């Protein structure tokens, strides 16, 4: 879904893979925290300039101005750059701690300024993880415990004890919660991936099912058109497969299909797509491949299947396949049309005696066997 103009302004054009859902959330949260941090501090500065909340020349005015500028600069650097997330998140956390310490030291009239240490902790746990959360919580507790005496208006021992216990409580709470929610998130992602794999892959052979395969092909056709590169389709159909089932049983047929799928998978490039589009039919999409290249690969595959000899209960079984090859010559051709051509070429190979590679030339509509080995 295209991002709204507001999202583009706030986050830039950072792209996240489907599996980076949590990182995308952290990235967006950091951008929001940087902008809101700058805005809130700017409001305090406005209070000073409008004399509503005068800090009467306190050095904290400089640290607030520096904090606002730093948050805006960090936001500008973060927009559209997910790879900068970690150092920007840490830089912002350091700026926050300095800002809180400055408030403690220079704004004694604000007795609630210590609350910023509390609001900081959830953000650290979410943005930087559990170790960073535990470290910052410890630093805040130790800093307050030892620094209190140096404040111009120190908190009472009772007040300090309340602050420390509450900070520890909050740290422990977010530590446990972070642990649980992250493991829940990881399990959700794993089960989502499993479901997605089940919905897009054939359970017997592990290759793409027809729907996922054709959708992958449509995507590659669009890319091919954009780059002006040719592409080809191989349609692989096992010969006399019914007799394998009839003579050796369905389990043997399944074993043969698995072995063939494995052989096909190892014969192609990772950029090619392989799908089981029918019972004993496989289709292979070859991007950036013209007809001579596709015919050559088809012949290699045909020979590979012939030599495969999958072992079933009764011993090794000789199998073969007929392969139809089609090249996309017309840029406007749909996947269905190309697949139909490959199908017709495969049918022609069957008629020619099986165990061979054929391609149909659209001009001549003639069969061009590229290789034939008698069984
Ligand atoms: N074991 C097994 N058999 C399957 C599966 N899916 C389809 N089949 C069988 O595949 C066979 C396909 O037979 P046909 O379409 O007649 O093709 P063929 O026997 O290979 O003959 P030709 O293609 O003309 O060489 C049928 O018997 C189907 O039952 C499957 O998942 N496992």
pLDDT digits (tens, 9 = 90+) for 326-364: 998 767 788 889 999 999 999 999 999 999 999 986 533
Per-residue confidence (pLDDT) for residue 306, from 0 to 100: 95
Question: Do residues 64 and 128 both lie within one domain?
Answer: yes
**Per-residue pLDDT at 14:** 87
Residue 288 lies in a domain: yes
Burial of 274 (0-12, 13-18, 19+ CB in 10 A): buried
Atom 11, ligand 1: which residue's CA is nearest? 242
192 and 219 housed in the same domain: no
Whole-number Å distance, alpha carbon 217 to ligand 1 midpoint, is 24
Prediction pTM value = 0.68
Domain identity same for 337 and 277:
yes
Are 245 and 168 contained in the same domain? no
Please write down the HEC assignment for all residues of 230-286.
CEEEEEEEECCHHHHHHHHCHHHHHHHHHHHHHHHHHHCCCCCEEEEEECCEEEEEE
- Could you identify the atom of ligand 1 that is nearest to the CA of residue 243? 19
User: Does the residue 335 lie in any domain?
Assistant: yes
- Per-residue CA distances from 177 to 120, 123, 361 (Å): 16, 13, 65
Mutation probe of ligand 1 site: the residue of 201, 253, 346 with most atoms within 8 A of C-beta: 253
Do 95 and 243 fall into the same domain? no
Indicate which atom in ligand 1 lies nearest the CA of residue 204.
31
Q: Ligand 1, from 207, 209, 241: best to mutate by most atoms within 8 Å of Cβ?
A: 241
Same structural domain, 148 and 290:
no
Residue 365's pLDDT is what?
A: 37
- pLDDT for res 54: 67
Q: What is the CATH number of the domain that holds 214?
A: 3.30.70.270
Q: Report the pocket of ligand 1 as residue ranges, CB < 6 Å.
A: 204, 237-242, 245, 250, 253-254, 257, 279-280, 350, 354
84 found inside a domain = yes
pLDDT of residue 108: 87
Query: Quick check: is 58 in a domain?
Result: yes
Which regions in the chain score pLDDT beneath 50? Answer: 363-375
178 lies in the same domain as 282: no
Nearest to 265, CA basis, from 292, 305, 317? 305
**Bridge-partner residues for 336, per DSSP?**
none
CA-to-CA distance for 139 and 345, rounded, in angstroms?
A: 73
Residues 6+ positions from 256 with CB-CB distance below 8 Å: 238, 241, 244, 310, 312, 317, 319
Number of domains in the chain: 2
Residue 154 to residue 134: CA distance in whole angstroms: 25
CA distance 313 to 15: 51
For residues 181 and 226, membership in a common domain is answered with no
Indicate which atom in ligand 1 lies nearest the CA of residue 241.
20
Supply the range of the domain harboring residue 273.
208-372
**DSSP H or E segment with residue 34:** helix 21-49
Q: Are 360 and 345 in contact (CB under 8 A)?
A: yes
Q: Nearest residue CA, atom 7 of ligand 1?
A: 279
State the ipTM, two decimals. Answer: 0.94
Let me know whether 351 and 294 are in one domain.
yes
Domain end among 172, 197, 222 = 197
Looking at the fold, whether 174 and 25 belong to one and the same domain comes out as yes
Among 197, 222, 254, residue at a domain's last position: 197
Q: Please check whether residue 202 lies inside any domain of the structure.
A: no
Instruction: Say if residue 330 is in the same domain as residue 299.
Output: yes
Alpha helices in 148-234 (DSSP H): 157-200, 210-227
* Residue at a domain's end among 152, 174, 197: 197
In a domain, 132, yes or no: yes
Distance CA 196, CA 156 (A): 58
Determine, yes or no, domain membership for 176: yes
Residue nearest to atom 21 of ligand 1 (CA): 240
Tell me: do 122 and 74 sit in the same domain: yes
Asked if the structure places residue 203 within a domain, the reply is no
């Amino acid at each position: 879904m295209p991002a709204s103009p507001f999202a583009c302004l706030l986050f830039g054009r950072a792209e996240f893979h489907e599996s980076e859902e949590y990182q995308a959330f952290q990235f967006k949260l950091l951008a929001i925290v940087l902008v809101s941090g700058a805005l809130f501090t700017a409001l305090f500065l406005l209070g000073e300039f409008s004399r509503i909340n005068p800090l009467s020349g306190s050095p904290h005015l400089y640290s607030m101005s520096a904090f606002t500028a730093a948050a805006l600069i960090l936001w500008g650097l973060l927009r559209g750059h997910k790879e900068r997330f970690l150092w920007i998140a840490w830089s912002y956390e350091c700026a926050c701690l300095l800002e809180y310490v400055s408030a403690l030291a220079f704004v004694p009239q604000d007795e609630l300024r210590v609350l910023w240490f509390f609001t900081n902790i959830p953000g650290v746990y979410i943005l930087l993880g559990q170790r960073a959360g535990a470290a910052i919580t410890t630093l805040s507790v130790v800093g307050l415990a030892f620094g209190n005496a140096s404040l111009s208006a120190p908190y009472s021992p009772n007040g300090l004890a309340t602050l420390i216990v509450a900070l520890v409580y909050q740290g422990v709470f977010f530590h446990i919660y972070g642990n649980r929610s992250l493991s829940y998130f990881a399990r959700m992602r794993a089960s989502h991936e499993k479901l997605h794999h089940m919905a897009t892959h054939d359970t017997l052979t592990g290759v793409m099912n027809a729907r996922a395969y054709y959708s992958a092909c449509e995507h590659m056709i669009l890319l091919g058109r954009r780059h002006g590169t040719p592409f080809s389709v191989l349609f692989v159909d096992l010969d006399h497969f019914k007799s394998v089932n009839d003579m050796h049983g369905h389990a043997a047929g399944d074993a043969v299909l698995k072995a063939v799928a494995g052989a096909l998978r190892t014969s192609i490039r990772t950029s090619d797509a392989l799908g089981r589009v029918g019972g004993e039919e496989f289709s292979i999409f070859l991007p950036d491949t013209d007809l001579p290249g596709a015919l050559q690969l088809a012949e290699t595959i045909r020979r590979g299947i012939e030599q495969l000899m999958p072992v079933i209960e009764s011993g090794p079984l000789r199998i073969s396949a007929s392969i139809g090859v089609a090249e996309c010559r017309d840029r406007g051709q749909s996947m269905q049309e190309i697949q139909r051509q490959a199908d017709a070429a495969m049918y022609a190979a069957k008629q020619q005696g099986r165990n061979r590679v054929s391609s149909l030339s659209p001009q001549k509509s003639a069969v061009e066997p590229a290789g034939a080995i008698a069984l």
